[in-house]
Amino acid sequence: MNKKLSALITMLVFSLVILAGCGSSGSSDDTIKIGFLGAKTGGHASYGLETLKGMKMAEEDINAAGGLLGKNVAIVETDHGSKNSEASTVTDKLINNDKVVAIVGDPTTGLTKIAAPIAQDNQVVLLSAGAVGTGVVEIGDYIFRDTLLDALAAPAVTKYCAEELDWKKVALITSVNNDYSVSLSNIFRDALKKYNVEIVTEQQVKDGDTNFSAQVTNLTDQEFDGIVFTGYYTEGGLLMKEVRKQGLKQVMVGGDGLLSPVLWEMGEAAVESSMVYTGFAPDPNTDNEKTKAFIDKYKANNGNKLPDMFSAQGYDAVMLIAEAI
């Protein structure tokens, strides 16, 4: 099956699911509600805030063009505070109190896995703008995502490190209380084996840790070419600060969980030369008119800063839902 046909079939299924779930919910006399599921505070706030920026831009563009089916689109905002315990409560509120027609979120794999069964049971579409890990869309036929998959990106990065940078040995560090990190480490293990890169040591950390001296000390008597860290940006920045503090020179490679300005705020010079893959890299000189318009508008709204993957995918998620409706 070619890619265009596959995309058309996927869009048709998505449209049918959206329509099946509409009923009398999700819209009032003049408004179609789309829910934002994500964090505006807490450790995942960078992902959530960027996703929400993109969603609000899409809301503005849709309404400026006349709305959807004669109605305005309204983004219903929430904040689960980056807490697993709040994700289910917020999802239930969006569905049963706010009566949204669809939900965009969560940007993280772990919290999406908490919310998705609730959306599936209520037959409400949940489209994640960032859940790249395994076992997400398999939850049910109301669950979608619009992001680059770790299963594709991590092997490509590994191939680059092995063939272009001539890496032979790495240290692999996993955040063991983070579903995304555990899943991504499994993918990297397979990819590293495929490209004959040896894992000389594995270290474990946890989301929320701030002291990584013990784990880094365990690296100092090893010979390796690079550090593969599969966790999020806060821990990544602090980890690399400790790496430099203990005199190690190796660079870090990781997934889009590291993608945030907070990585540089936390790690400063220690994260220079780090390699992070992403499903969207803004090019202000792009020839694609829609992409350029998105970048220009984002910059105008955000002090000339460039958008990231989460804002782009948040925008696209709302547009996909609108197209399906």
pLDDT band at 8 (very low <50, low <70, confident <90, very high): very low
Under a CB-based contact definition with an 8 Å cutoff, are residues 175 and 206 in contact? yes
Q: Classify the phi-psi angles of 90: left when phi > 0, otherwise alpha if psi is within -120 to 50, otherwise beta.
A: alpha
Two structure tokens written together for 22: 């509409």
**Neighbouring C-beta atoms of residue 193, cutoff 10 Å:** 12
Residue holding tokens 């030369």?
273
Confirm if 143 and 126 have CB atoms less than 8 A apart.
yes
**Structure confidence by residue, pLDDT tens digits, 57-94:** 999 999 999 999 999 999 999 999 999 999 999 999 99
Average pLDDT over residues 228-255: 98
274 vs 250: CA distance, rounded Å: 9
pLDDT at 23: 45
Q: Which CATH number fits domain 3-148+283-324: 3.40.50.2300, 3.30.479.10, 3.40.640.10, 3.90.1200.10?
A: 3.40.50.2300
C-alpha radius of gyration, the chain, whole number: 20
Looking at the chain, the domain(s) classified CATH 3.40.50.2300 span: 3-148+283-324, 150-276
pLDDT at 277: 93
pLDDT in tens, 191-233: 999 999 999 999 999 999 999 999 999 999 999 999 999 999 9
Confidence band for 27, pLDDT divided at 50, 70 and 90? low
For 122-269, where are the alpha helices, taking DSSP H only? 150-163, 179-194, 213-217, 233-245, 261-267
Rounded to the nearest 5 degrees, what angle is found at the Cα of 52, between the Cα atoms of 12 and 284? 85
Give tens-digit pLDDT for 163-173.
999 999 999 99
Q: Is the pLDDT of residue 299 over 90?
A: yes
- Which CATH fold would you assign to the domain 150-276? Rossmann fold (3.40.50)
Instruction: For residue 210, give the nearest of 230, 233, 234 by alpha carbon.
Output: 234
257: CB partners within 8 A, 6+ apart: 108, 180, 181, 184, 230, 231, 232, 233, 236
Distance of CA 191 to the CA centre of its chain: 21
- E strand or H helix at 21: helix 3-22
As a whole number of angstroms, the distance between CA 254 and CA 179 comes to: 15
Whether residue 4 has pLDDT greater than 50: no
Average pLDDT over all residues of the chain: 91
